[in-house]
Structure formats: structure tokens, C-alpha cells
Amino acid sequence: MKRETGFDAARRAYLVEHGYDRSVWPSLVTLVCVLSLLPSYTSAQAPISAPQDVRVFDSPSDGGGSLTVQWAPAPWDGPDVRYQVLVGDAAATDPVALTIIAEFPSNTRYLKDTKTAWWTRKVDKTWHQAFIKSAKGLEVKDGTSYAVAVATVQSDRRAFSQVLVASPSPDWFNWNQLNNLIIAVSFGGLVFYSISHARRNEIFLRRIPGLDAVDEAIGRATELGKPILYLTGAHDLHDPSTIAAAVILGKVAKRAALYETELIVPHREPITMAVCQEITKQAYLEAGKPDLFKEDANFFITADQFSYTAAVDGIMLRKRPAANFFMGAYFAESLLLTETGASTGAIQIAGTDSDHQLPFFVTTCDYTLIGEELYAASAYLSKEPVQIGTLRGQDIGKAVVLSAIGIGIVLATVGVVTGAQWPQIFLDLVRDLK
């Protein structure tokens, strides 16, 4: 026997509460009387009626070109009974004249199946919902009115709802993402509070071995009289990891300038190259060694993944840099680069948020900055209160996420075990956060 799910229970409760499914006995007596009067071939079919409480309106929180139809669940909802959604010109009053744009079993297309948050729902999630959008033979235009009806279908019988008129229009805010906005703004506020707190108080910063090794690597290159190779990754400046790599480049370039060690920065993207040239130039100025700055320390090779890899591998083998830095985002080239670097005996420090490449970096590099450590590097190397404050904000953010995960696990478990609906209200708050 099939076990009743939480949704089934909620649907049944809704039907009883709203009078769609009353006590069984009066219905049963009526049914027996009706059946005795009907020919035997109709006795297998339950009586159907038109969909109840049909609502048609512009789809909320969208870019336009869509209407939403909602109607109440019915006691006969099941695989044998079907629903039809019909659309036509606004002037149409006869539902038979409308075009069928969707037909589906009556136990499908519930509000719960759509990705809407509870704060945007105006009806119970046990209601049916269908969208009317442009498709083959139908163009749904903003500002144009359309006549819409829903029909219940069983065999050759159809029962139509009344014809309703609505027109689609675009919206200026997606209310389904309100939770996302609130959390983003709260996190931003937290970061700025942490920055102001860090200006007034000293904050402990845990050691990151990979960043402690930066000085060691540059010092080693200086002792050996060999250059330092610095890569900023595969992405352009759209990616925060490339920006983080460029920021760390500034710190590394400053040390390299102080130690008067050659710096080589080959690039895959010209705009990143131009930005890194400025960063390097400023680093040499700050180090008081502007005369040592070389314009061609940063140079472009190619945007092609493996051509770039071959070129950098060639540089490693010919110039034998004593320290290799791999910061930013990487793909399949990561192992080709680091394994070649390891074969030259260079000290290698990697930092990436490309989680799928981390195993390669960990196995081939001396130190690896894992994920967020790449973003923390700037604060760690500069020791500026503003930067360190940001780290504190991130840590508090992580604690909040961790707590939310813990509470979410408990609530989801309670929801499943007891069949209660209330945990979903809390779970929706952290759903679809991107």
C-alpha cells in the first residue's frame, strides 16, 4: 500500500478545510442514487465539474511575456482526469472557441513544483498552477490582454471554468530573490562593521604557511640569482580570483623589487596584463626602485590554453626560475605547469579557488592556498586593519552559514519525520541562494 506523503496529507487537509471534500456519507448516498439511474457504462466514472477558484494574472517577478493560471485542487484529481489550459483573444467569451495550449493529468502541476518562495505565494501550495508563455502558434505580448480558461476533462466530457482576462507585463524586482538580497546586504554590513572594529582593535590572524613561504621563495630566488615566475590564472578580471591574484602580485613585486630579483609575469589576457603592469610599476615605486622596473616583465603570450601552457613550460625550462607562483583560476593546464615547475626544482606556491584543480596543486606544489586563503592573502601580506577586518567578517559569515546548515538539517529531519509543513517556511529562507 502506498504511504501518504506530507504533500498528500496537506492536500487532503486543504480540501476538507475549504469544503472541497466533505464527509463521505452524504456523497456516498447521493452517488448510489445517481448510479442506480444511470446506464451501467458510466458507473466507472466519477462526476467532475469545472475547476474551482480559477485565477489568471500577470506572472509576478518576471521579465514579462507570461501569465499565471491558478486553481484549487479537486477531490477527483488523479491520472484519469485531465486539465486543459485554453487561451485566446481577449474578446472571446466562449471557452470552446479558445485554443488548448496545455493538457496534463489532474494530479500534476502543483504550486509546490515551481521554484517560488512562500513569501510570494498568494494561495496554498496544493493549488494547481500553469504558465502561459510564447510557444509555437502563440505569441504572448506584454500589454496585450488574453482570455484564459481551464477545463476539466474526463473521456469525452469537458467542464469549463469561466473565461478570465489578463495581460502580461514585466516587473522591476524579483521578489523570489528577496532572501538573497537581504543576506547579501547583511553580509556586506557585517564586513564593514568588522573593518571598523579592526581599526579600533587588534585581531588575531592565524598563520597561513603558503603566505609565510612567499618571503622564503623570493629570498631563495635572490640567493640563486634566478628569476621569479608569477602566473595570474586562466580567467580575466571578471573573476574575483584573478583580481586577488593581481593584488598578491603587487605584494610579491614589491618584495622582488626590494631584493632586486627579476620578475616574469606571462599573461593569457591582455587587459589583465595592462592592469598587472600598472600594479608592478606601483610596487617598484613603493619599494623605491623605479629604475629596476621593466615594462616587459608583464607580457602577453596567447589566450589559447595549451599554447600558453607550452610557452610557460618553455620559460620554466629555459630560464629555470627559482620560485613559481600560480595564483588565480586554472583548468587542465594546472598539472602541466606545476609538474614542469617541480622538475626544475623551483619552490612552488599555488593559490586557487578552482576546487577541481586543488588536488593537482596540492600534490605538485610546496604550498597551496586553498580556496578562500587566496582572498585572504592580500590581508595577510599587508597586515592592514581594513583588510584584516574583512577576514573577520568572512569568518563570522562562515559561522552563520555553518549554523544555518546545522539548523537546516534538524528542521528538514523534523519535517520529514513528523510530516509537518512549518519547517519548510524556515528552509525556504535559505533556499536558492546563489
Partner 1 sequence: MIFLRRQLPLLITLITGLLFAAQYYVPHPASEQMLTSATKWLQIIGGFALILGVTSLFHQHALKIKRQEAGWGYSLVLYAGMLGTIAVGLWANGKESVDGAMTAFGWIYNYMMVPLQGTMFAILAFFIASAAYRSFRAKSREAAVLLVAAMIVMMGRVPLGEYLIPVSGDVSSWILNVLNSSVRRAILIGVSLGAVALSFKIIFGVERSYLGGGKE
Q: Please state the closest distance from residue 164 (CB atom) to partner 1, in A.
A: 24
x/- letters, 393..412, toward partner 1 (CB under 8 A) = xx--xx--x-----------
Q: Residues 6 or more apart from 159 whose CB is under 8 A from it?
A: 48, 49, 50, 51, 151, 152
Sole window of 16-24, 94-102, 209-217, 234-242 interacting with partner 1 (rule: CB under 8 A)? 234-242
Among residues 80, 99, 79, which one has the least CA distance to residue 89?
99
Residue 348 touching partner 1 (CB under 8 A):
no
Among residues 199, 198, 97, 105, which one has the least CA distance to residue 147?
97
Q: Please state the closest distance from residue 258 (CB atom) to partner 1, in A.
A: 14
Q: Please state the closest distance from residue 250 (CB atom) to partner 1, in A.
A: 5
Among residues 219, 231, 208, 253, which one has the least CA distance to residue 369?
208
431 φ, ψ (degrees, to nearest 5) = -85, 145
Q: For partner 1, which is the closer residue by CB, 95 or 389?
A: 389
x/- letters, 188..207, toward partner 1 (CB under 8 A) = x--xx--x------------
x/- letters, 152..171, toward partner 1 (CB under 8 A) = ------------------xx
CB 414 within 8 A of CB 423: yes
Sole window of 41-49, 107-115, 209-217, 370-378 interacting with partner 1 (rule: CB under 8 A)? 370-378
Q: Please state the closest distance from residue 402 (CB atom) to partner 1, in A.
A: 8
SS3 382: helix
Q: Please state the closest distance from residue 66 (CB atom) to partner 1, in A.
A: 10
SS3 283: helix
d(CA 336, CA 350): 13
Residue from the set 45, 145, 167, 180 that interacts with partner 1 by CB under 8 A:
180
Residue from the set 129, 261, 344, 364 that interacts with partner 1 by CB under 8 A:
364
Residue from the set 219, 240, 408, 419 that interacts with partner 1 by CB under 8 A:
240
Among residues 58, 28, 20, which one has the least CA distance to residue 46?
28
Positions 257 through 286 that interact with partner 1 (CB under 8 A): 267, 269-271, 273-275, 278-279, 281-283, 285-286
Q: Please state the closest distance from residue 67 (CB atom) to partner 1, in A.
A: 15
Positions 7 through 66 that interact with partner 1 (CB under 8 A): 61-64
Q: Please state the closest distance from residue 171 (CB atom) to partner 1, in A.
A: 6
Q: For partner 1, which is the closer residue by CB, 222 or 241?
A: 241
SS3 400: helix
Q: Please state the closest distance from residue 170 (CB atom) to partner 1, in A.
A: 5
Q: For partner 1, which is the closer residue by CB, 82 or 254?
A: 254
Residue from the set 80, 216, 372, 428 that interacts with partner 1 by CB under 8 A:
372
Q: Please state the closest distance from residue 269 (CB atom) to partner 1, in A.
A: 8
CB 56 within 8 A of CB 74: no
**DSSP assignments along 250-278, one per residue:** HHHHHHHHHTT--EEEEES-HHHHHHHHH
Positions 294 through 313 that interact with partner 1 (CB under 8 A): 296, 298-302, 304-307, 309-310
Residue 403 CB neighbour total at 10 angstroms = 10
d(CA 156, CA 37): 20
Sole window of 28-36, 132-140, 362-370, 413-421 interacting with partner 1 (rule: CB under 8 A)? 362-370
CB 55 within 8 A of CB 69: yes
State the DSSP code for 110.
B
Sole window of 49-57, 121-129, 224-232, 385-393 interacting with partner 1 (rule: CB under 8 A)? 385-393
Strand 347-352 versus strand 367-370 pairing type? parallel
d(CA 403, CA 397): 10
CB 180 within 8 A of CB 432: yes
